[in-house]
Each structure stands twice: as structure tokens, then as C-alpha cells.
Structure 1
Amino acid sequence: MQEAVSDIFSALAHPTRRQILQDLRDGELAAGDIAARFQASGPTISRHLSVLKAAGLVTERRDSNRILYSLVGERLALSVGDFLSSVCPEQIVLRSIRKPSKKSKPSGGKGAKASTAKPAAMKPATVKAAKAATA
């Protein structure tokens, strides 16, 4: 598992690969369309796509003579989230603050959106408690 996380962070190390991931957030793209967005050569972009695929951050599928790439966002979110939780105890507390309790349901009826407000800055005592809980 540690090797897989290492592969993800290695893949994220290059700005071109991060931009490819951002470009894929709206849906799949053909390899040629991805390459057209950069000044790098086609083979260079192909290598970047191979690194992202090996890290499990993108998938590919063939559509006749085209290769279409898609983002695997869940893998990225889970890996980065797990890492942050292990090195930043405050993230554990923030996650629990953001999760709505089963008792409180959003008001406004059907179709109402849940609040996307970010929690206020954590007080030092809360941070200290979070660190103690994870120690």
C-alpha cells in the first residue's frame, strides 16, 4: 500500500501531470486533445499519461483509433486524505466537524443544498485534543 501512495505523490510531483488531472476533472479526453493543450511533444505527454495511469489516477479506454483518458478522482482524494490525516491531526477534527450528524438534517425541504461553509479556525485547545487523540 505504501508503494501505491508513493506512486501517487511521484505522479503529482510534475506540474504537467497536475494540469492533466485538472483538465480531466470535467470528463474524459482523447490523448491527442490532451497533448494539444501543451507545448510538449506527443511522446512526452504520452509518458506523463503513463505515469498517471501507473499510479491509478487515470484510466484509459479505446474508442476505435483513439485512446480516451478519465480521472480516477476517488483514488486521489482517498490517498491524499489518508496522508493528511496521518501527518496533520487537525484534519481528523475538521472532517468530523464537516460531517453532518444523523440527528441534524439540512432544512429547506427537498432540493435544498447543504451548507458549504468552512469551519472557523480551530482553537489551540481543539488542536491539542486532536493531537492527543491520534497519539
Structure 2
Amino acid sequence: MNAVFKALADPTRRKVLELLRQGPMTAGELSDRFPVSRPTMSAHFTILREAGLVATHKDGKSVVYRLQLSVLEDALLSFGQLFGIGGTAPAPREGSST
């Protein structure tokens, strides 16, 4: 879960995920949408891939990225459960009246 939230902390990476909601895109297509160098984008892609938020496959010389929405859903569900949201509520703390 930490890797997912680290990946989501950066606005560029959030925008990449937003673009991938439309469908798979090559690294070049994604990089062309940002005013940063390709090596910088490659570092963003690596963080997203390591967090499991994107999957890749080779198509000739291109690397194609696609969104792994289930990983994001799992992380958000786990995070919500820490606070008793959207799942099993945590056990009452010792000494509490609930």
C-alpha cells in the first residue's frame, strides 16, 4: 500500500493514470503529453510499475502501458478499512465504551 500512495503523491503520475483510463498508451504517447524529459517520464513510469498501478508489454520497439485499476482499488479499500470505512470496522480499543 505504501508504494501505491507514494506513486499517487506526484501530480505527473496521477495525470498518467488519468490518461491511461482512456486506454493503453505507449511510453512515447504518454511522454509527449508532459513538458519534461523522457528520462524523467521513465522514472515516473518505473514508480507506477513498481507500485503495480500499470502493466506493460512490448509492441515491437514500443512499451505499451495499461492501467491496473484493481491494484488501486485494493489499496484504497485497505486504507479505508484502517479507518473503518467501506469494510469491516476495526475492533474497539481497550477501555472504550463502544
TM-score (norm 1): 0.64
Q: How far apart, CA to CA, are the structure 1 residues paired with 2:23 and 2:91?
A: 37
User: Larger radius of gyration, structure 1 or 2?
Assistant: 1
Structure 1 position 35 matched with structure 2 position 31:
yes
Structure 1 position 25 matched with structure 2 position 13:
no
* Partner in structure 1 of residue 54 of structure 2: 58
Q: Which has the higher contact order (CA 8 A, sep 6+)?
A: 2
SS of structure 1 residue aligned to 2:63? strand
What do you get for the CA RMSD once the two structures are aligned? 1.7
* Partner in structure 1 of residue 95 of structure 2: none
* Partner in structure 2 of residue 7 of structure 1: 3
* Partner in structure 1 of residue 96 of structure 2: none
SS of structure 1 residue aligned to 2:65? strand
Structure 1 position 70 matched with structure 2 position 66:
yes
Give the ranges of 4+ consecutive aligned residues of structure 1 lying more than 6 Å apart after TM superposition.
none
SS of structure 2 residue aligned to 1:40? coil
- Considering fraction of residues, name the structure with more helix: 1
Q: Unaligned regions of 5+ residues in structure 2, if any?
A: 93-98
TM-score (norm 2): 0.86
Q: Unaligned regions of 5+ residues in structure 1, if any?
A: 96-129
Question: Across the two proteins, how many residue pairs are aligned to each other?
Answer: 92
